[in-house]
Amino acid sequence: MDPELIKDCVHCGFCLPTCPTYVLWGEEMDSPRGRIHLMGQHVEGTPLTDAMAGHFDACLGCMACVTACPSGVRYDRLIEQTRAVVEREHVRRPDERAIRALVFALFPYRRRLRAMRLPMRLSRRLQPFLEQVHPSLGAMAELAPDAPRPVRLPPLVRARRRRRARVGLLTGCVQGEFFPQVNAATARVLALEGCDVVIPPRQGCCGALSLHSGREAEARRFARRTIAVFERAGVDAVVVNAAGCGSSMKDYAEVLADEPGWAARARALRTRDLAEFLIELGPVAGRHPLPVTIAYHDACHLAHAQGVRAQPRELLRAIPGLELREIGESAVCCGSAGTYNLFQPEAARQLGDRKAERVLAAGADLLVSANPGCTMQIAASVRRAGKGEIRVAHTAEVLDASLRGLGSV
Amino acid sequence: MAARDVGDALEAAGVAVRAAGDGDEVAGVRPRWVALPESAEEIAAVMRVCAAHDLAAVATGGGTKLHWGAPPDRCDVLVDLCCMNRPPEHAAGDLVVRAQAGVTVEALARALAEGGQELALDVPVPGTTVGGLLATGIAGPRRFRHGTARDLLIGVTVVLADGTIAKSGGKVVKNVAGYDLGKLFTGSYGTLGIIADATFRLHPLPAARAWVTATVERPVTETYGTWTNEDGLTFETLTTDLAGSLATMVPAVTESPLEPSAVEMDWPDAEGPCTVAVLVEGAAAAERAKALCALIGGALSDAQVTEEPPPWWGRLPEPPAPDGPPGPLGAGTGAGDGDGGEILLEVRNVPSRLAGSFVGPLTAAREAGVHAAVRGSLASHVFHVALPPDTEPRRVAAFTGGLRAHMETDGDGRVVVLAAPQEAARRLDRWGHVGALPLMRRVKERFDPDRRLSPGRFLGGI
Amino acid sequence: MSELERLTERLTAALPPDAVLTDPVRLRTYECDGLTHHRATPGVVVLPETAEQVAAVVRLCGEHGVPFVARGSGTGLSGGALPRTDGVLIVTSRMRRILEIDIPNRRAVVEPGVTNLAITEAVRDRGYYYAPDPSSQQVCSIGGNVAENSGGAHCLKYGFTVNHVLSAEIVTPDGEIVELSAQDPGYDLLGAFIGSEGTLGIATKITVRLSRAPEVVTTLLAAFTGIEAGGRAVSAIIAAGVVPAAIEMMDALAIEAAEAAVHCRYPAGAGAVLVVELDGPHAEVEHQFAAVERICRDNGAFEIRVAASAEERAAIWKGRKSAFAAVGRISPAYIVQDGVVPRTALPRVLAGIDLLQEEYGIRVANVFHAGDGNLHPLVLFDDSVPGEAERAEAVSGRILDLCVEHGGSITGEHGVGVDKARYMPRMFTEDDLDTMQLVRCAFDPRGLANPGKVFPTPRLCGEVPGVRRGAHPLVEAGLAEQF
Ligand SMILES: Cc1cc2nc3c(=O)[nH]c(=O)nc-3n(C[C@H](O)[C@H](O)[C@@H](O)COP(=O)(O)OP(=O)(O)OC[C@H]3O[C@@H](n4cnc5c(N)ncnc54)[C@H](O)[C@@H]3O)c2cc1C
Ligand SMILES: Cc1cc2nc3c(=O)[nH]c(=O)nc-3n(C[C@H](O)[C@H](O)[C@H](O)COP(=O)(O)OP(=O)(O)OC[C@H]3O[C@@H](n4cnc5c(N)ncnc54)[C@H](O)[C@@H]3O)c2cc1C
Ligand code: SF4
Ligand code: SF4
């Protein structure tokens, strides 16, 4: 934990109201300002206590505090450093350790995830039982989406009409397995907008999960591999449609700061979120009307970590017939936050419920976001509230429907 | 101590004193001396003499309404502040003025107008002094836009019962250093200390003013009907309500983006018509008034724009003539055991209970068999109700009780009896229930432990 | 067992399970508010959820003779919420429900922990807002606003917290729940409570006035070569009889900081910028705007920008609103000062500040509410250079002296707290302060509510001789009733 970064915090509290854990519990220690203070205490020599580690673990890493901070405090760097310290110095309870091991053994690996699909569907029915064994297992089961039809994407999708760019597409582990239709839609949209889309078949996990959980070495390994894969693809930009992956790829240079060669290669890689990229590129394909009301949810890793808020809205608004509605407390996290709903199921559930309430209040036909974790989380909360199924989609799917003139999403 | 000694002591303190006469009575209590201090130090000297001799003092400014309110438990010295009237210090560039307590509001307004500014309070009683204005916390129509005395006061110098001179606030508009004693003294009726001088924030005189006036023939509608119960018996019913024109017009005007400065009404007899007047101020006043006129004209056909206020604007209501028929209270006409003094009530309310502000006085007046005149602010929902001066005391009490029953039911309405003859006042509670009274008593005990300042004149006998 | 420990046991029994914090690591996160150089770890922290719980805590404190301090969002800049190591810190951050929104009566009833901005957000759709707008409005609590009588850029026209609070339910220092209402006859205890910095009790429910959103808002940014020209323009605007909603000024150094932090793109080469906001009925604003624009040009404005949209207005304000925190980008450390001078004394006081900069070799960035003479000099220093912190502290103090000399105040909005208690005697005589203490003693005779704040020397509320404790003689005689 870099004392210089800690010192940047002037204790103004501007970050408090957007911090989900502060919103939930109203305690200083579970606010960004409080967590930075705890980091300061540790740097000054206070040993890492259970209480301290608990407050760091409770942080969703949503980075709403980074957006809110007028002093430019790099909380993102601070919490990553802190997580690494917690992993190194803190001894967790055995049951916590077991759950963490399970998650890290599964999620970053596609094949293992694929093998999980069937048991997960079964487990939905077992959820009450799993809940009793450990709330995290219950949460995992509750969230599991129905296993989709596998979609195989070709290594290259050619641009329609004149080619304007050659881009790489990161397919993501969770996205790729549970929401392959999103990747398909993304590739089509890019192609329709005049891009050759390279989809390297051998890409693995980008390292986001490991990075956000303080597993530094693992994160670095994934980062180096991803860089190498896309360098070989020879693309102008790497387009990412999963917010969490995009934010971690944009951080590669800092993750690899100790390895100057790799850091330079990371900087050379132009990583863009899909919406960000499409706005930079400018539209050429025609938009067909979509008569639908959409509530757009800001995924933290997009809105806060990458500062991409206006672009998706701009893209959606440009679709004729589409009405865009804002969700209350839009800056506050839905509680999904990567692995958060697995490790902190209680808090995640409360945040999910809070968000679901506001999403329902927006009264839209469709909930759209750029992160599968968020939509899974919110849909589960809506279900839990007994409000039936809420229809969800990724921004890419909505654009795809409009560009192809499907008339509905 | 003999009376002469006290007089000597006051004189020795360098303060002009005279023996009190008939005209110096405070609500019927005749003091023995009148002191005429010219500075805060001289007020302090008077208070020290009072402290040394256990004398009670009452402050007076213009003395315009000193007979209002409860009589003091005792009053030995009347501290007349009329001589504290040095020309006000007007700092036009800072939009503030400092004035001594004895300066009249009219003199102050003249001085300020020379600099193109004003104290944005409309004081209803001519001859009011700065001290009296603050001590009673009065305000007029424009309280809707600018608030009351407390909102415009930024600094004050006071003299306490033991002769301590203390100031709070200052001469800058923005200031949060220390407690705001000015607020505490505003509306304290001289029971905590004597105000020596005050500093106010000012406003530029508006470039233009315009009024929109209109008449409501029947502010309260009465609908007769019948109602049949399950046994087939039919009863006559009477529903009273606010006239639809008022009910829609008032919120439309107060919430209008045209931003009126005040919305007032005059209802000289609760059985008759009432006049509504709206004030607009600013360079574009005429234009805005026209737009408001159109807005009001929808509900009230005789709406018109005038450049002068209606004659009753910003004044307390005149009491109606006591010629009403005896009401349900039975025997006796108005002229009974009353002592001929003024009877004035203040009613506060909230916008959503506007109907109550009309139906309340009307019903209470009918039930008590009196005539009532109502005037006040439709925007701020503060009204004054006047009854004929010699209304029978029990009718005054019945009216007050009836009005309270109407207004205070849901916790938002308040009825305070500002002026009532002794005989009537004894039968009623002037102030109504105030939850914070014990805390107020504690404040009084700290400031004036020996109860030497206007004892008994304030609520709860403070 | 210490008194505090005994009290803590009873607090734990009286409050919900996780409402009492005793873990030292957790307690320390509450050691300061927005003014970080005053620190003290609270003896115990409680997080009540209801007025009854607050009252219970306060009563227990009374029984054990333990002091208590209220805290809202901890953004205060005078150390008002500085805890007591031997006391209880009562934090309202779990009391943040908006209890009622009553548009017809233009009011909202809220718990003290609700943030200032949350009220406006709850009523904006219906064309209303809560007028006082401290720069910290997204985070500071209404309870804190009431305690500090907070203002904002728009208080030039609309006034401060005290002008917008209709009533407050408070827990008195002896643990009673009392309603103070502007509607009630009697002493204006509400007016006295507002701005009392937590020394007269704890607000547990607040009814605020909602204001109607103006028909139009026009925001204009005028760039001047120097602060003098800007100051002249301000005086001329006031002299022309215009009362803008806000007039804010920033000097070159403050502009530089804001530029670094939020890229506000103020005109290049500006030695001072003036942000003037006019609001009201369309016809009036048009009139005033013409006057303001002309006055700015006449006084040497070399560039004037007018916000054409809500986004452009936000962009103009962004630079101003982020100025405090932004100074962190151009200086390792700084002190935010808060003083007031009569507006006409501004040029002299600013010249005085210039002299101080030279004398001490310390840079001062100026941001101020020019309309009402409220200065926020930001005194910059590098805490790693020996002696600089002390010199900055000295400059900061001398600025307050300048304010007092020119008939101003030592604080316009941040309050006295613990930081400025020692400056109070420069503004007030002993008699003035003793008189304020009378109010304190009426509310809190034992001095348990936020002791050590506001007043320089703690005084005991000695038994006042001659206080009548029995029934009033008139009541006894049946001549009056007490209600
Ligand atoms: C008890 C009472 C209640 C009133 N309430 C209202 C009201 O609610 N609304 C309204 O419109 N009018 C009210 N009035 C009328 C109001 O007093 C007159 O409108 C105004 O003319 C008073 O100014 P004055 O200078 O004539 O004061 P006076 O009539 O001389 O005194 C009025 C009151 O103020 C006190 N007072 C006067 N000067 C000072 C001073 N320098 N320091 C301390 N105390 C001082 C007196 O002791 C007295 O209680 C009230 C009057 C009284 C006596
Ligand atoms: C960047 C920044 C900008 C600021 N800008 C402004 C500005 O423009 N204008 C302005 O006026 N202030 C400003 N402030 C100061 C601060 O935000 C205000 O003073 C605010 O009102 C404090 O609210 P809080 O909830 O943080 O209170 P805290 O800091 O927690 O407490 C402040 C004081 O209030 C007391 N208190 C808190 N809650 C209660 C309660 N319920 N009952 C009784 N007492 C209570 C505390 O004991 C303490 O004395 C700014 C602060 C920062 C950091
Ligand atoms: S990252 Fe999110 S949860 Fe963590 S401190 Fe910042 S705002 Fe709170
Ligand atoms: S907003 Fe930034 S400077 Fe302010 S408390 Fe939060 S992290 Fe610290």
DSSP B27-45: TTBPPSEEEE--SHHHHHH
> Do residues B98 and B236 both lie within one domain?
no
Nearest Cα of chain B lies from the Cα of C313 at a distance, in angstroms, of: 20
Residue B306: Cβ within 10 Å count: 13
Query: β-strands A271-273, A195-198: how paired?
Result: unpaired
CA of C80 to the centre of ligand 2 (A): 8
Convert the pLDDT of each residue in B104-122 to its tens digit: 999 999 999 999 999 999 9
- Cα–Cα distances (Å) from A395 to A274, A392, B64, in that order, read 9, 10, 75
Q: Is C476 an interface residue toward B (CB < 8 Å)?
A: no
Q: Give residues 182 to 201 of B whose Cβ lies within 8 Å of C.
A: 183-184, 186-188, 192
Q: Give residues 330 to 369 of C whose Cβ lies within 8 Å of B.
A: 340-344, 369
Convert the pLDDT of each residue in B262-291 to its tens digit: 999 999 998 899 999 999 999 999 999 999
Amino acid C216: pLDDT: 94
Closest ligand, as measured to the CA of A11: 4
CA of A47 to the centre of ligand 2 (A): 32
Amino acid present at C436: M
Indicate if ligand 4 lies below 6 Å from the C-beta of A209: no
C478 has pLDDT over 50 = no
Amino acid B327: pLDDT: 43
Task: Confirm if C340 and C368 have CB atoms less than 8 A apart.
Answer: no
Residue B227: Cβ within 10 Å count: 9
Instruction: Choose among C164, C196, C241: nearest CA to B150.
Output: C164
Determine whether domain A3-89 maps to CATH 1.10.1060.10.
yes
Average pLDDT along chain C:
92
The residue-averaged pLDDT of C414-436 equals: 95
Nearest Cα of chain A lies from the Cα of C33 at a distance, in angstroms, of: 7
Confidence category of residue B328, pLDDT binned at 50, 70, 90: very low
Overall domain count for chain B? 2
Amino acid C477: pLDDT: 46
Distance CA A187, CA A136 (A): 34
Amino acid A125: pLDDT: 54
Among chain C residues, CA nearest to A22: C93
Instruction: Choose among B296, B333, B305, A26: nearest CA to C49.
Output: A26
Distance CA B379, CA A261 (A): 73
> Do residues B214 and B172 both lie within one domain?
no
C466 has pLDDT over 60 = no
Amino acid A313: pLDDT: 95
> Do residues B147 and B197 both lie within one domain?
yes
Q: Do C372 and B352 touch (CB under 8 A)?
A: no
Task: Confirm if C367 and C434 have CB atoms less than 8 A apart.
Answer: no
The residue-averaged pLDDT of C319-348 equals: 88
CA of C151 to the centre of ligand 2 (A): 10
Q: Is B29 an interface residue toward C (CB < 8 Å)?
A: no
B247 has pLDDT over 50 = yes
Choose one of B58, B65, B430 to mutate for the ligand 1 pocket test, by most ligand atoms within 8 angstroms of C-beta.
Answer: B65
Amino acid C462: pLDDT: 66
Residue intervals in chain A for CATH 3.40.50.11810: 286-403
> Do residues B374 and B453 both lie within one domain?
no
Convert the pLDDT of each residue in C258-271 to its tens digit: 888 888 889 988 99
Lining ligand 3 with CB less than 6 A are A 18-21, 32, 35, 59-65, 75
Question: How do the residues of chain C divide into helix, strand and coil, expressed in percent and rounded to 5?
Answer: 40, 20, 40
Amino acid A116: pLDDT: 53
Q: Do A27 and C93 touch (CB under 8 A)?
A: yes
User: Could you tell me the pTM of the whole model?
Assistant: 0.91
SS3 B78: strand
* Phi, psi of B109, rounded to the nearest 5 degrees: -60, -40
> Do residues B334 and B362 both lie within one domain?
yes
Indicate if ligand 2 lies below 6 Å from the C-beta of C133: no
> What is residue C422's DSSP assignment?
G
Q: Could you give the percent of chain B with pLDDT greater than 70?
A: 95
Q: Could you give the percent of chain C with pLDDT greater than 70?
A: 95
Task: Confirm if A247 and A254 have CB atoms less than 8 A apart.
Answer: no
Among chain C residues, CA nearest to A55: C26
Amino acid A255: pLDDT: 87
Torsion of CA A355, A358, A363, A369, to 10 degrees: -40
Q: Is C115 an interface residue toward A (CB < 8 Å)?
A: yes
Amino acid C467: pLDDT: 37
Confidence category of residue C461, pLDDT binned at 50, 70, 90: confident
- Residue B239 domain boundaries: 209-425
CATH of the domain at B128: 3.30.465.10
> Do residues B221 and B152 both lie within one domain?
no
Residue intervals in chain A for CATH 1.10.1060.10: 3-89
Domains of chain C from N-terminus onward: 3-91 (3.30.43.10), 98-212 (3.30.465.10), 216-325 (3.30.70.2190), 334-343+353-419 (3.30.70.2740), 430-476 (no CATH)
Indicate if ligand 4 lies below 6 Å from the C-beta of A72: no
How far is CA A365 from its chain centroid? 23
Nearest to A11 among C28, C34, C261 (CB): C34
Among chain B residues, CA nearest to C236: B93
Beta bridge partners of C244: none
Q: Is C261 an interface residue toward A (CB < 8 Å)?
A: yes
- Cα–Cα distances (Å) from C78 to B292, C152, C156, C415, C430, in that order, read 47, 16, 22, 6, 22
C465 has pLDDT over 50 = no
Rounded (5°) CA angle A128-A133-A138: 45
Q: Which two tokens stand for residue B355?
A: 């109907």
Q: Give residues 406 to 435 of C whose Cβ lies within 8 Å of B.
A: 407-416, 420, 424, 427-429, 431-435
> Do residues B199 and B230 both lie within one domain?
no
Query: β-strands B16-19, A165-170: how paired?
Result: unpaired
> Do residues B445 and B411 both lie within one domain?
no
Confidence category of residue B406, pLDDT binned at 50, 70, 90: confident
Convert the pLDDT of each residue in C124-154 to its tens digit: 999 999 999 999 999 999 999 999 999 999 9
B339 has pLDDT over 50 = no
> Do residues B326 and B447 both lie within one domain?
no
HSE toward the beta carbon, residue B61, CA cutoff 13 A: 27
Which ranges constitute the DSSP H helices of C225-374? 227-239, 252-262, 282-298, 310-321, 323-326, 346-360
The residue-averaged pLDDT of C202-224 equals: 96
> Do residues B256 and B294 both lie within one domain?
yes
Write down the architecture of domain A286-403 according to CATH. 3-Layer(aba) Sandwich (3.40)
Tokens 């509608």 correspond to what residue? Answer: B221
B211 has pLDDT over 90 = yes
Residue-level pLDDT, tens digit, chain A, 409 residues = 899 999 989 899 999 999 999 999 999 999 999 999 999 999 999 999 999 999 999 998 889 999 999 888 999 999 989 998 998 888 877 777 777 776 666 655 655 555 555 455 545 555 555 555 555 555 555 555 555 566 678 889 998 888 999 999 998 776 777 778 889 999 999 999 999 999 988 787 888 878 777 788 888 999 999 999 999 888 999 999 988 889 889 989 988 989 989 999 999 999 999 999 999 999 999 999 999 999 999 999 899 989 999 999 999 999 999 999 999 889 999 988 767 777 788 888 899 999 999 999 988 899 999 887 888 889 889 988 888 888 889 999 999 999 998 877 7
The residue-averaged pLDDT of B325-335 equals: 41
The residue-averaged pLDDT of C418-426 equals: 95
